[in-house]
Amino acid sequence: MPTPPARHPTAPDPWRLRQHLLACLVLNTAIALGITVVENDSFFVNWVYSQCIGTAIWGAIDLLRDRFAPDEHPDRRQLLWLVPAGVVLGYSVGVTLANALLGHSNWLYWTQDWRRSLGFLLMSLGIGAAFAYDATQRAQRALAEAQAQAALRQSTQAQLQLLQSQLEPHMLFNTLANLRALIGLDPQRAQSMLDHLVAYLRATLDASRATEHTLAQEFERLRDYLELMQVRMGARLHYQLSLPPELAGLSVPPLLLQSLVENALQHGLEPQLQGGSVHISAAREGHLLHLRVDDDGAGPSTDLNAPESTAQRFGVSQVRQRLATRYGPQGTLIFVAPPQGGTSARVQIPLETPSA
Amino acid sequence: MTSALIAEDEPLLAAALQAELARQWPELHIAAVVGDGASAVSQALALRPQVLFFDIRMPALGGLEAAAELADQWDHTAQPFPQLVFVTAYDQYAVAAFEAQAVDYVLKPVRPERLQKTIQKLQLPLAPAASGATNLEATMAQLRSLLTPANAVAPIPQVLQASVGNAIHMVPLSEVVYFEAADKYVRMLTDSREYLLRTPLKELQAQLDPQEFWQIHRGTLVRATCIERATRDESGKWRVHLRDRNETLSVSRLWAHRFKPL
């Protein structure tokens, strides 16, 4: 499912930009003060140089990063060339600018006192590296946070979709309407119907949380659903569940077959006036578990094996997605239209050893 | 005596509605209880009740479609069109679409107090002679709005894909003259040939511009600019004649309102 891309963590944000600039100006002033104390010369001259060089370095590093590494994933290794390049570029631009502003040249220092000049350059390099490292750390943290939030949103959305597909309001209200009618006619049957409804609701709500349950549980939940539908559809629905006892303990993703059974009823039996029957079965073949939902209904009107779009509205893509996530390419779902009519949905999943 | 027909596919619900009606409106005679839309149409035509309780979701033919079909076949010169009440568990139709109209609706599970309001409404205008024709008009207008799928947010497609043998043909929408529902398929006709689509007509319709393609029948959407003329036979049925084509298409009464001289 497409989610909006995470906000570019280094995207220009006017408020943050202003904050950075302010920090830069304050730091430059502090550096100028320090140099003035140590060197005992004009604070104003030092201040102008400091501001020009510092701001130019900050600008140069930002410019280089936006230009050559506008990646959403800031990488600490990029700092290795980004910072030196930014510092050298910014230093040159800053000094040139300050020289122009003050009307004299300190390039002479490089010949007169190269050790001192190199010291200033190295200091700029250190400060620049510290700043850039900090900014990268922050950006990485922000990105990680955004990714975690997106993942959470996505999984919540998937859970909700599963829930919504199973708690279809039409099904729920019709079931309640039947229950209401049954209370007056046959209180005993009404009670048993209510029990099935409670089990169905509980399973549906739990299925969005639990990741596995046994095949026996899966079949019991399908029985709850089919019992509810049987009360509603009366003689129009017949069903059969065949689970060999030796397969009862195998674990499967909860309510994996639910939407396939719903499809069989909704698209197979519903359109037929006389209704029909559904047969759900499990069988083992070597290292594979075969699960089948067969109906003798109207038969598929669209190609359910076709990718996505056509299968989407039948909840089929959701089943395929769950199979793929859980079992990879070994978990498959195919549809067969048997010659005698109806639809056969066939799930195949690899068997795992009970200890796994 | 007032008689009614109940169409509801879930037997318990049909029985419950019948029992509640018997309790609250003992004089009402339930002429028949049917479980699907097609039987609802044929039984209503045969028994001519004054009131219809139709479930919206029924096998094969739903309640709305059945009502439209019935409106088409109803001989309203002999008897005014019945009062319609839709019964539904939950649906996509805005409940507002039903409010204060010719057609009433009741939500399932049906509450006795709510049914009583419906019964009161039904008992009011059953002096039919005056309201007969207007009731049919109002009912049909409301059915039209309920039957027209809400237009999808998706943009109108430029081409439609139709499979022919092993190939997928790209058919520009602008070349399509009309769509016609046929069993499991939709026939799509262009000037030069015919294609079969597997998409249900309702789904197609939601993607089309209703001004460009007119619905003239439950199963027919025709490009308005391809209609040459519409003619009316002695029985009052309209037929549409197309430009440069021999076949004519029948117009159901529900959609005949389109053909009025300016």
A242-251 pLDDT, tens digit per residue, is: 999 999 999 9
Euclidean distance between CA atoms A279 and A260, whole angstroms: 11
Reported for A43-46, long-range contacts at CB under 8 A and 24+ positions apart, including other chains, are A45/A102
Contact by Cβ (8 Å): A246, A252: no
CB contact under 8 A, A181 and B13: yes
CB contact under 8 A, B89 and A169: yes
Give the CA distances from residue B216 to residues B176, B205, B209, B227, in Å, rounded to whole numbers and listed in that order: 16, 12, 14, 11
- The residue of chain B nearest to residue A176, with distances taken between CA atoms, is B109
> DSSP letter string over B109-139?
SPPHHHHHHHHHHHHTT--HHHHHHHHHHHH
What tokens appear for B161 in the block? 């894909």
Percent of chain B surpassing pLDDT 90 = 42
pLDDT in tens, A266-308: 889 988 889 999 999 999 999 999 999 999 998 877 667 765 5
Q: What's the pLDDT tens digit per position in B195-236?
A: 998 888 888 888 888 889 999 998 999 999 999 999 988 888
Q: Which residues in chain B touch residue A273, judged by CB atoms under 8 angstroms apart?
A: 35-36, 38, 59-60
pLDDT, position A117: 74
CA distance A314 to A270: 14
Judge: A173–B107 Cβ closer than 8 Å, yes or no.
yes
- Give the dihedral sign, CA A280/A285/A289/A290: negative
Query: Mean pLDDT of all residues in chain A?
Result: 81
Gap between the Cα atoms of A2 and A73, Å rounded: 20
pLDDT for the residue B47: 96
pLDDT at B69 > cutoff 50:
yes
pLDDT of A284: 94
Instruction: Quote ipTM for the complex.
Output: 0.76
If you measure CA to CA, which chain B residue comes closest to A230?
B10
A276: left (phi over 0), alpha (psi -120 to 50) or beta: left
Q: d(Cα A337, Cα A262) in Å, to the nearest integer?
A: 17
pLDDT of residue A298: 86
- Interface test mutation site (partner A, options B6, B8, B10, max chain A beta carbons within 10 A): B10
Q: Are B39 and B7 in contact (CB under 8 A)?
A: yes
Cβ partners under 8 Å of residue B165, min gap 6: none
pLDDT given at position A7: 41
Q: What is the pLDDT of residues A169-192, one digit of tens each?
A: 888 899 999 999 999 889 999 999
Residue A147: what pLDDT?
83
Q: Among B149, B134, B137, which residue's Cα sits nearest to residue B203?
A: B149
- The chain-wide mean pLDDT, for chain B, equals 86
- How do residues B107-155 score in pLDDT, each as one tens digit? 888 889 989 988 988 887 654 444 556 677 778 888 887 887 766 566 7
Chain A hits for B10, CB-CB cut-off 8 Å, are 174, 177-178, 232-234
Residue of A nearest to B18 (CA): A181
For B37, the token pair is 């839309």
Closest CA of chain B from A274, distance in Å: 9
As a whole number, mean pLDDT of residues A206-229 equals: 88
**How far is Cα B184 from Cα A33, in angstroms, rounded to an integer?**
86
- The tokens 């891309």 sit on which residue? A5
Is the separation of the CB atoms in A346 and A334 below 8 Å? yes
Radius of gyration of chain A (CA): 35
Residue B42: partners with Cβ closer than 8 Å, 6 or more residues away: none
Asked if B154 is an interface residue toward chain A (Cβ–Cβ < 8 A), one would say no
Beta bridge partners of B161: B170
What whole-number distance in Å separates Cα of residue A221 and Cα of residue A280?
12
Quick: pLDDT tens for A302-354. Answer: 667 765 545 455 578 888 888 888 888 899 999 998 998 899 999 999 986 54
Among residues A341, A252, A241, A259, the alpha carbon closest in space to that of A295 is found at A341
Quote the minimal CA–CA distance from B133 to chain A in Å: 34
| One-letter amino acid for residue B63 of the chain | G
How many Å apart are CA A36 and CA A44, to the nearest integer? Answer: 9
Q: Kindly state whether B157 is in contact with chain A, defined as any CB-CB distance less than 8 angstroms.
A: no
Looking at the predicted structure, is the pLDDT value of residue B239 above 90?
yes
Tens of pLDDT, residues B241-252: 999 898 999 999
